[in-house]
Homo-oligomer: A and B are copies of this chain.
Amino acid sequence: MSLKFVERQQLKEKPNIKEVAFGTTFTDYMVSADYNKDDGWHDFKIIPYEPLSLDPSTAVLHYAQTVFEGLKAYKVDGETVLFRPEENFKRLNRSLERLSMPKIDENQALESLIELLKIEKDWVPNGKGEALYIRPVVFATSKSINVLPSSEYKFLIILSPVGGLFSQDGLGTTKIYTEDKYVRAVRGGVGEAKFGGNYASSMLAQEYANEKGYSQVLWLDGVEQQYLEEVGAMNIFFVKNGELYTPKLNGSILPGVTRKSIIEFARDRGYTVHEDRIHIDDFKKGLEDGSVTEVFGAGTAAVVAPVSHLNIHGEELKVGDGEVGPVAKEIYDTLTGIQTKRVEDKFNWVKEVK
């Protein structure tokens, strides 16, 4: 692979990872590529992380044609590793298609990321729960406010060192608010795409949940507002009579790589895992009668987020004894174990950067 590299004059000072807020510090370099109708995707390169010059008419600023991805690089025994990165670039392409944006060569995108990570290897932190968060993003760059798919796009990969999202060391618990007024996504819409607009449109409900003392929103389906979908930037799982349940992908749920991985290795470890259409009232009943013993969110940023309390239809319910449960702990340990090569990587999910 021949990737153009523009070196910067001076490298940044590396911050103290314990002190940086999530997603506010970026490394020295980024991947950049451009798309136009004649050349397709072209000019893949690694350049200094620096401001972009964008015309006020740039399409993304008006019509929000933007999709992104999120994955992490971990430092294991001095080596940089990735967890199932092909899945993220596959999903990026599905998102691009849904938003009428041009697909990108998955291998080329991944290879450019690997080149970038080689250069930025000293930015990958190695403390517990720490990682280098990777943000591929594609957005519309036509200088036109005509409401049409843009004819030009930019692809970037930027990198940001992070600690754990919810807590700095391992597993805390979180309180969740079930949203029954606002809707995140609906079948026929864009919920299964990692589309920027899904996040902007979720923020108001997220703010209301925070005001009420909850850290995340549990979304219900957009049609009946009765079926579980997902939680903030995580998919949701629960344990009922010792078996795992998670909502079935239905077009409005983001198909998480963490979700998919948990389903796969939990089955391998002997768990029965149900992907079902789950009615909020059935779920609530399970919490009330004690058959639902654990609830947790799962996603790249937080890894596993055990839920201590859930507000459903205005009523606050405690999950089990309100502490981190054994299944969530096992899932967390297994997943982070595979990612950091302390647990056997049976499925060949870990990719070394070299």
**Chain A residues near B (Cβ < 8 Å):** 21-24, 26, 30, 49-57, 60-66, 68, 97-100, 133, 135, 137, 139-140, 143-149, 156, 158, 160, 181-184, 186-190, 195-201, 203-204, 207, 222-223, 225, 232-233
Contacts and interface: CB of A to CB of B under 8 A. Distances in A.
Contacts of A24: 57, 143-146
B100 A203 contact: yes
Smallest CB-CB A-B distances: 8 pairs: A197-B197, A64-B196, A183-B188, A23-B145, A64-B64, A100-B203, A63-B199, A23-B146
A224 B49 CA distance: 47
A167 B99 CA distance: 27
7 contacts: A24-B144, A51-B56, A52-B55, A63-B203, A99-B201, A140-B200, A147-B203
A158 B201 contact: no
B51 A200 contact: no
A144 to B, nearest CB: 5
A147 B299 CA distance: 14
Among A51, A68, A137, A207, max chain B CB count under 10 A is at A51
A141 to B, nearest CB: 10
Contact of A149 (B51, B160, B203): B203
A54 B56 contact: no
B196 A201 contact: no
B56 A53 contact: no
A165 to B, nearest CB: 9
A51 B53 contact: yes
Given A24-B143, A144-B24, A233-B147, A63 B200 contact: yes
Contacts of A145: 22-24, 133, 135, 158, 160
Contacts of A201: 99, 189-190, 195, 197
Among A63, A98, A201, A222, max chain B CB count under 10 A is at A201
A351 to B, nearest CB: 23
A206 to B, nearest CB: 8
Given A197-B201, A201-B99, A137 B186 contact: no
Contacts of A135: 62, 145
